[in-house]
Amino acid sequence: MNLPFKKPLHFEKLWFFYVYRFLDGLFDFVSPFIMVYFLLIGFDYFQNSILIATWMLAQLIFEIPTGAIADIYGRKVSVFISYLLVGLGFIAIGLSSSFYVILAIIFFVGGASSLFSGAYMAWLVDHVKQEKFNKDLQKVISNVHSYGAIGSFIAFSLSAYVMYLNMSYVWLLTGMLFMFLSVFIFFFGPERFEKKKGITIGDSFRETFTVSKKALGYVKGHHVLFWIFLGTFVSAIVSGLGGSVLQPYLLHLGLEAYMFGPLAAIIFFVAIFAPQLSGKVLKMLKSEKNVFLAAPIIFIVFLLLLGLAKSLVIAVVLYLIFSSLGGVFGPVMITYVHKHTPSKIRATSGSVKAMLGCLGGIIGFPLSGWVLQNLGFSYAFAMAAVLLVIVFFLYLKIDDKKK
């Protein structure tokens, strides 16, 4: 196991991505509280779900155009602007208490975050390939994720104190630090992307839609990406039904709100090492397809157990396990997707995948709010488990042998 405390793989050439991901985690004080903050300031379950769905609606609207912008003008520019605007939006949320004002800000933040979603991983993968480290791509992705987890572990360990002082501070502090991170990206981020010259605004829009259409066509006709992306859509609905109720469920069982910081710190402490196990998991399961198939089965088991849990201690243990598993499966899944995606449409195809995730979330989050308001937590977990069965059968159709 290549422990993250040792000198990271190819650090001389890839140092920026290790440092950037560490700072990204270190500066994020808000993530442990997103699903509970708005409940704590007086919004109900349905209003809470509408806010998250609005974030995803903005991402859906802007996803492909912003992904194509990254393909046309460069990944670095896209990521830099994203952090700058998201930082401003987070500060505005921390200063607001009106549902409708926050709703408008959330829409702005969702659109700004779409500048990052397709661009960052394409930036990293392209840079790894430009340095001719292709054979180490999965290891690099795993190690970079581990350094992000180290930063998150530190931030979340401190976030309980920040939350205890004042709930709005988690938004204000994260916003200011994200703006600082955007400056770091601007000055130190490597970019070998060949930017287009002499293109008018009209040309840019035409090329945006050309690249987007090409990416959509490529995914539709691909025997691996099509089923993975469709599974992403259904999984996003699951996230709305299952994942979005985890924190409210623990609140319901009596967990103090500030304790979500230490819980998140534990999850990310595990996440420091979890990506290093991805290679072993792949070897054990023998193929990437089997990794995709194993993930929904394991999550079904945990969701059903969570739905049955009535003890806070048992629910917390299950929550910690459930929330830590993504770090094991993620690097294998990400690497597999990028293995099947040409570089020239990599950012845009990443945006297509994110777009489908947003569309699923737009359905799943309001549905979760309605279910929680009218039926309760157990029904939300059970419905999510049923949808994961569908995800399993979608992944079962992945055929790596067809071209």
SS3 397: coil
pLDDT given at position 85: 94
Residue with tokens 């002082």: 165
Largest CA distance in the chain: 64
Query: What does the DSSP assignment read for 56-95?
Result: HHHHHHHHHHHHHHHHHH-HHHHHHHHHHHHHHHHHHHHT
pLDDT given at position 3: 47
Half-sphere exposure of 29 (CA within 13 A, CB side): 26
Q: How far apart are the first and last CA of the chain?
A: 34
Q: CA-to-CA distance for 105 and 111, rounded, in angstroms?
A: 10
Helices (H) and strands (E) in the chain, counts: 18, 0
Structure tokens at 163: 């939350």
Q: Are 143 and 94 in contact (CB under 8 A)?
A: no
pLDDT given at position 282: 76
**List of residues 6+ apart from 32 with CB closer than 8 A:** 156, 159, 260, 261, 263, 264
pLDDT given at position 177: 94
pLDDT given at position 4: 47
Q: Which CATH architecture has domain 13-396?
A: Up-down Bundle (1.20)
pLDDT given at position 83: 93
Instruction: Return the closest-CA partner of residue 229 out of 365, 333, 92.
Output: 333
Provide, rounded to the nearest whole percent, the portion of the chain with pLDDT above 90: 13
Residue with tokens 């991402």: 59
Residue 113: C-alpha distances to residues 56, 67, 137, 178, 392 (Å): 10, 11, 25, 12, 29
Q: Are 159 and 259 in contact (CB under 8 A)?
A: no
The radius of gyration of the chain from alpha carbons, rounded to an integer in Å, stands at 20
Structure tokens at 40: 């704590």
pLDDT tens for 118-157 read 677 778 877 787 777 777 777 787 788 778 888 888 888 8
Which stretches in the chain have pLDDT values below 50? 1-5, 200-201
pLDDT given at position 205: 57
Count the Cβ atoms, other than its own, within 10 Å of residue 342: 11
Q: Are 78 and 66 in contact (CB under 8 A)?
A: yes
The distance from CA 381 to its chain's CA centroid, rounded to whole angstroms, is 21
Instruction: Return the closest-CA partner of residue 326 out of 160, 153, 128, 149.
Output: 149
